[in-house]
A and B are shown apart, each in its own frame.
Chain A
């Protein structure tokens, strides 16, 4: 097991390296020049050329890639072309809101979706099942930003219970921190909740039809004990997989949520950087995301051993 973890962690290095090469090449080939954006509307071509030279963007591909890789080897992600701030500082500023939003959404989604999926399977064909599935369809169909506006309209503008926008660090107090996360998490979590609830229901229905479930009932176990102790545990592998895949969805979703709720997170940092061609930020954030994906996949794989003793690494 330990050797497996070490091997998987070592395998992340070439994966992240390939991602780095791919992203760098893609940015190099894509249209857009930060010097043009910086120089503004009035600039002459000579001005733009001088800014480009000042930023080192006039260097050949291999020189630029070599420099970036060399800096990366020393843990230096570079400096933002526009703000002049280190990319690591910008990521550090933005990581907490994104992690807080993602974790909050994940916890709330799993906490609600798994029991609802189990319930729906337990009462398949009944009104609870129909209600859960209807809400799931709604969750899939409703765009995040529409739900976000509806929630803001009700809870912020009408009722004035929660703030419209922004983020407060945990250091500013748990109350303000939580208040600023409730609506974004709800808006972001609905799709995720729908996805997990549906997968949980489908997986549970499959397991509940197995002989060993009937045996468990026959030996006198209570229904909740059968559902949670036998059925859910055996249905957990696809659920864990979908939770892992869902984290990728969440990271995509935070871009919209962070924009609507003006949360200064990694998603907005990425979009802003792409729009203005701030290459060092795009490269830094992509590396971060690829590392996160690899680690999440590893954690999901490891979680299988908890649910299914037959799986060994």
Chain B
């Protein structure tokens, strides 16, 4: 067609197409209307839809320490003992515990009515196999195993632990609340090598896992376990009566925070486990949503040094960095709001029994960059490059890294940021060589509060050299103090031993705690019974 054709010809072509387009839009609108009302209105009554903190990738809470798998564990499995909100150990599956006069023998009797999801009763053999598998992987479990002479079954409901020497933390170990939690599995599963994954999720807990409906990366489905017999006590953290008040729980993993916020606003989901700090003001505007801090302990951020390589194999330089750290800055950067983050100048989680202020002036005293600069000079630092690892896909890690790099440069340390994804960082932090051979100087992470409450759990505090956690500090005195804590028979002596460890830590600086922070949770107000605790528990929650 010549482009100079009369306009009438073009109109003849254009009009039917425009008519078709308008018709299609109208038909689309009608179709959408016919497809039903708002999805928000289409919710079933007893289905709890929940956005978890991460995607559930593996089902075995002993094989991996991932917190999401631990949370899955609390849905499906039960525990022998659990810690309550007063940090007291309470029996859970256990009905009765007898301790011999010499404190070398513990006899446990299971309560009635405990059944696995496959219908089999929970037996002593299941408990022993589960504890033995857990003890091969968990740091506290390993200590218990070191003290153990033998586990034996008295009968199907009663089993016995015989110790080599008195160990005051037997029940604390069995009640360990965070990864790895000593969950009880059927013996046939618990006999699996602790370094091989169990791919079934058969427990005796309050929810049953529906494996056929599990879509990794998207959805996890649990249904109420009708055979579960809850304890009579009120729920308190992981202890007490686990009464399930919904028929079905769906964990819907939504990786994009803005989408998750819209889904909660819209009522497509009922509960969002971790609300990012920048979205708190947005979500809080919805009067149908409650934003709440349910976690009394929060999490602890930390700066970890490489003690094997220069420049931070120099204790004085580590002390200089500590002199420059302002915990308030880190708290604000991580939590976004002073209400959700604060300083915690203790090597044990603030708000727990062993938290103390011994030696903490080094971190809580007046911040003075000039003094820190002088300390750097006094340390004999020769300007070696400090490689600071960061993971841009982990906001808590990355915010700490950005502050630290800036701070190091201000005090005269030649810091270089090495940003990657978290998977790459995990790999690089295992490199022990120098920074010129792919090594590192500093990395960051965070632990949930329950993981730092005592010397048995606080791995970064150890000084066992190359056997220590990444960073590998060698400190024989710290190890002695740790052993003294394990041997301390009374609470007062335990506290004193922990204080001595902290005094030592502020001197040798195995790591620097940066801040204690809380990531709030958000749920629609038609949910009631949400339990306050350091871990998300889904029993007691009712949907109106």
Contact = CB atoms under 8 A, between A and B. Distances in A.
Interface stretch (B8-16, B146-154, B272-280, B340-348): B8-16
A38 interface: yes
A58 interface: no
A82 to B, nearest CB: 4
Contact of A222 (B12, B40, B263): B12
A297 interface: no
Contacts of B426: 33, 36-37
B196 to A, nearest CB: 5
A2 to B, nearest CB: 38
Interface size class of A (residues with CB under 8 A): 35 or more
Given A42-B179, A47-B137, A84-B59, A224 B12 contact: yes
A245 B199 CA distance: 41
Contacts of A128: 14
Interface in A258-285: 259-262, 264, 268-269, 272, 275-277
B424 A32 contact: yes
Interface string A38-56: 1111111101101101100
A83 B411 CA distance: 46
A188 interface: no
A262 B218 contact: yes
Nearest to B420: A31
Contact of B195 (A42, A47, A175): A47
A260 to B, nearest CB: 5
B114 to A, nearest CB: 27
Contacts of A125: 3
A217 B179 CA distance: 79
A37 B253 CA distance: 19
Contact of B423 (A32, A41, A261, A269): A32
Contact of B13 (A38, A214, A227): A227
Contacts of B268: 163-166
A217 B4 CA distance: 12
B424 A208 contact: no
B173 to A, nearest CB: 15
B20 to A, nearest CB: 8
Nearest to A128: B14
Interface in B106-157: 137, 139
Contacts of B215: 93-94, 264
A218 to B, nearest CB: 10
A166 B32 contact: no
B195 A54 contact: yes
Given A119-B17, A128-B14, A161-B32, A262 B38 contact: no
Contacts of A53: 195
B427 A32 contact: yes
A31 B459 CA distance: 26
A143 interface: no
Interface in B8-36: 9-10, 12-14, 16-17, 21, 28, 31-32, 34-36
Contacts of B365: none
A56 B5 CA distance: 72
Interface stretch (B163-171, B254-262, B515-523, B526-534): B254-262
B193 A223 contact: no
A176 B39 CA distance: 9
Interface in A98-116: 112, 115
Given A38-B63, A162-B32, A164-B263, A223 B12 contact: yes
A83 B255 contact: no
B427 A213 contact: no
Contact of B31 (A47, A119, A178): A178
Given A39-B65, A41-B447, A157-B266, A275 B35 contact: no
A47 B195 CA distance: 8
B46 interface: no
B1 interface: yes
B303 to A, nearest CB: 15
Nearest to B13: A224
A161 B29 CA distance: 9
Interface size class of B (residues with CB under 8 A): 35 or more
A175 B33 CA distance: 10
B197 interface: yes
Given A33-B427, A47-B137, A223-B12, A175 B34 contact: yes
A11 interface: no
B90 interface: no
A107 to B, nearest CB: 12
B36 A262 contact: no
A159 B2 CA distance: 46
A82 B58 contact: yes
Interface in A22-76: 31-33, 36-45, 47-48, 50-51, 53-54
A122 interface: yes
Contacts of B14: 119, 122-123, 128
Given A93-B215, A163-B268, A40 B252 contact: no
A179 B32 contact: yes
A223 B13 contact: yes
A33 B217 CA distance: 20
Contacts of B263: 164-165, 262
Contact of A40 (B12, B34, B179): B179
Contact of B430 (A36, A208, A224, A272): A36
B60 to A, nearest CB: 8
B255 A262 contact: yes
Interface in A187-231: 208, 213-214, 217, 222-224, 226-227, 231
Contacts of B199: 83-85
B66 interface: yes
Contacts of A48: 430
B292 interface: no
Contacts of B139: 42
Contacts of B266: 156-157, 160, 163-164
B57 interface: yes
A307 interface: no
Interface in B167-187: 179
A124 interface: yes
B253 A160 contact: no
A264 B255 contact: no
Contacts of A217: 1-2, 5
B231 interface: no
B467 interface: yes
A302 interface: no
B308 to A, nearest CB: 13
B98 interface: no
Contact of B459 (A42, A161, A182, A262): A42
A304 interface: no
The 5 closest A-B pairs by CB, nearest first: A40-B65, A264-B218, A84-B199, A160-B38, A223-B9
15 contacts: A31-B424, A33-B427, A36-B423, A36-B427, A38-B64, A40-B66, A51-B195, A83-B216, A123-B10, A163-B266, A165-B263, A176-B36, A208-B2, A227-B1, A268-B255
Given A48-B430, A83-B57, 17 more contacts: A32-B423, A33-B430, A42-B139, A54-B195, A115-B21, A153-B262, A157-B262, A164-B268, A165-B263, A165-B268, A176-B36, A208-B2, A213-B2, A222-B12, A231-B1, A261-B259, A262-B254
Interface of B: 1-3, 5, 9-10, 12-14, 16-17, 21, 28, 31-32, 34-36, 38-40, 55, 57-59, 63-66, 137, 139, 179, 193, 195-197, 199, 215-219, 252-256, 258-260, 262-263, 265-266, 268, 393, 421-424, 426-428, 430, 445, 447, 459, 466-467, 469
